[in-house]
Structures are given as structure tokens and as C-alpha cells.
């Protein structure tokens, strides 16, 4: 079943130039989908449309069986943005508790403490976020997404700035998310991560979907995802 259904979405900030043009794709249950594209290709704008952070101008978006702007749809998804913003005046425990209330969940704090330990943040759960490093904030965002267990998690460059050990662990946890039937849309410039993880890869350029194919097919055809982008940039009339 498709968990995210984006259908013919176009978007313009200024009413003149389309940043997204008739973008359509789906994310099925239990899948990790990579979202790639050059700077300014519209990836974040697409995510903002999905999460109703900008008003949809044309087309339609459904999360589960709900129109994307409805509260029922918003309960199904979690968005990790590219920045490391977290409420600095809270401890991680308070922040995660607050997120739990938002999604109507009883947080298992022992589970979170276990994840903090795995992500090399042992003993920091009750410290103010104000005192966290950039990487710790990113890891706290990831941990919060893992424990909120939303059917759909959209990750916009959140993996930037975390160390290799944490990346390795995050990849393992993402596979577990997939095995549990939940889905991730992973927007990143780290193609190696997508080659290891993504079932499909969606490649956007200038707001158009260029490829939406199984990652292994793209890698077989081009040699790597990076080569796919280079091939495209060399042959397309942009
Ligand atoms: N708030 C805004 N107002 C006007 N134009 C914007 C706004 N946000 C983004 N844009 C423009 O929309 C286009 C797409 O930007 P977007 O951030 O969606 O791209 P992206 O693919 O996420 O890029 P990157 O890889 O650099 O993060 C760019 O030309 C950008 O300048």
C-alpha cells in the first residue's frame, strides 16, 4: 500500500518560475526512498509541500488515506529538517516527552536512554539541549524520530554532521524501521548511503522528476548514483 502519494504537484514561490513542475511519486509501506538532486532542484520545497509548511498550489498529496493538510495525515508523518534546531531550554528527556504528547504516545524512556547510549550520548539525556554539540542535536533528532515510530519519516539532510559511527548505527536503525513496515524518505547528498539503503531513488532536477527507479537498477545502469547524476548533467540540455 502506498503511504505517501504525491500527484502532479507544482509550486512557485513568486508566481512566475516553477520550483516544482508536475512532481508525482509514491512511497510504499516498508520502503526507504532516496531523494536526490542538485542544489536548488526543489527537494526541500517538495518536503515543505508534503508537510503542509507551504500551501499546496496544484496537484494533491495524500499521507496514508488522508489529504496531507489534515491532522490525521500529520499524525502519520515526522519531518526532520536540515537544521539542528531543538528547544534549547529543554532537556532531551523533556523534548522527547513533548514529542510523545504531540503524537499521543507513551514514551519508553529506558528505550531512549538505550539509544542515547548507542549513539555515544550516555549520561546526557537529562542535560539541557543548550549544551549539546551540533552532532548531538542531530543525533537527538534522529533518536526522537526512531522512538516516535511514525509510519512515514522524512529526513532532510539530517545525517550531515554526524560521525561515521553514528551513521553506521543510523543505517542499522533505518533498516529496522523498514523491516517493521514503516517508511523513510531520505533526502541527502550522500549517495553512498542511498546505495546501501534506498530501495528506490528519486532524482529531481529543476523541479522535474528525472528518475524514479529502484536504486539497484540505477546503479547497474550507470555504475553508481554519482555517475547517474554526472551522466545526466553531461547529456541533458539544462
Ligand atoms: N522561501 C523561498 N522564497 C523564494 N525562493 C525560494 C524559497 N525557498 C527556496 N527557494 C528557491 O527555490 C528553489 C528550490 O530550492 P530548494 O531549497 O527547494 O532546493 P533544494 O533542492 O532543497 O536545494 P539544496 O540541495 O541546496 O538544499 C531555489 O531556486 C531556491 O532559491
CA distance linking residue 36 with residue 190, whole number of Å = 9
* pLDDT tens, residue by residue, 45-96: 999 999 999 999 999 999 999 999 999 999 999 999 888 889 999 999 999 9
The β-bridge relationship of strands 208-214 and 32-36 is: unpaired
Does residue 16's CB lie within 6 angstroms of at least one atom of ligand 1?
Answer: no
CA distance linking residue 38 with residue 19, whole number of Å = 13
* pLDDT tens, residue by residue, 18-35: 999 999 999 999 999 999
* pTM, entire model: 0.94
What is the interface pTM, i.e. ipTM, of the complex?
A: 0.97
Instruction: Compute, in angstroms, the gap from residue 44 CA to the centroid of ligand 1.
Output: 7
Instruction: Compute, in angstroms, the gap from residue 42 CA to the centroid of ligand 1.
Output: 6
Instruction: Compute, in angstroms, the gap from residue 41 CA to the centroid of ligand 1.
Output: 7
- Burial of 212 (C-beta count, 10 Å sphere; 0-12/13-18/19+): middle
Radius of gyration of the chain (CA): 18
Amino acid at each position: 500500500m502506498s503511504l505517501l502519494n504525491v500527484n502532479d504537484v507544482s509550486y512557485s514561490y513568486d508566481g512566475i518560475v516553477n520550483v516544482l513542475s508536475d512532481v508525482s511519486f509514491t512511497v510504499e509501506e516498508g520502503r526507504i526512498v532516496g531523494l536526490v538532486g542538485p542544489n536548488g532542484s526543489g527537494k526541500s520545497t517538495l518536503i515543505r509541500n508534503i508537510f503542509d509548511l507551504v500551501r499546496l498550489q496544484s496537484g494533491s498529496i495524500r499521507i496514508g488515506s488522508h489529504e496531507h493538510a489534515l491532522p490525521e495525515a500529520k499524525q502519520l508523518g515526522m519531518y526532520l529538517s536540515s537544521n539542528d534546531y531543538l528547544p534549547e531550554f529543554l532537556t532531551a528527556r523533556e523534548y522527547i516527552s513533548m514529542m510523545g504528547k504531540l503524537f499521543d504516545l507513551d514514551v519508553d524512556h529506558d528505550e531512549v536512554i538505550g539509544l542515547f547510549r548507542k549513539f555515544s550520548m550516555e549520561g546526557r539525556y537529562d542535560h539541557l539541549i543548550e549544551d549539546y554539540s551540533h552532532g548531538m542535536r542531530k543525533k537527538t533528532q534522529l533518536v526522537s524520530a526512531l522512538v516516535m515510530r511514525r509510519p512515514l519519516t522524512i529526513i532532510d539532510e539530517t545525517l550531515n554532521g554526524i560521525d561515521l559511527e553514528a551513521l553506521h548505527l543510523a543505517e542499522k536503525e533505518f533498516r529496522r524501521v523498514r523491516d517493521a513496515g514503516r517508511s523513510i524518505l531520505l533526502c541527502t547528498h550522500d549517495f553512498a548511503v542511498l546505495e546501501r539503503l534506498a530501495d528506490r531513488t528519486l532524482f529531481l532536477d529543476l523541479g522535474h522528476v528525472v528518475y524514479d527507479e529502484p536504486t539497484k537498477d540505477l546503479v547497474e545502469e550507470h555504475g553508481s548514483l554519482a555517475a547517474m547524476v554526472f551522466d545526466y548533467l553531461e547529456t541533458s540540455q539544462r
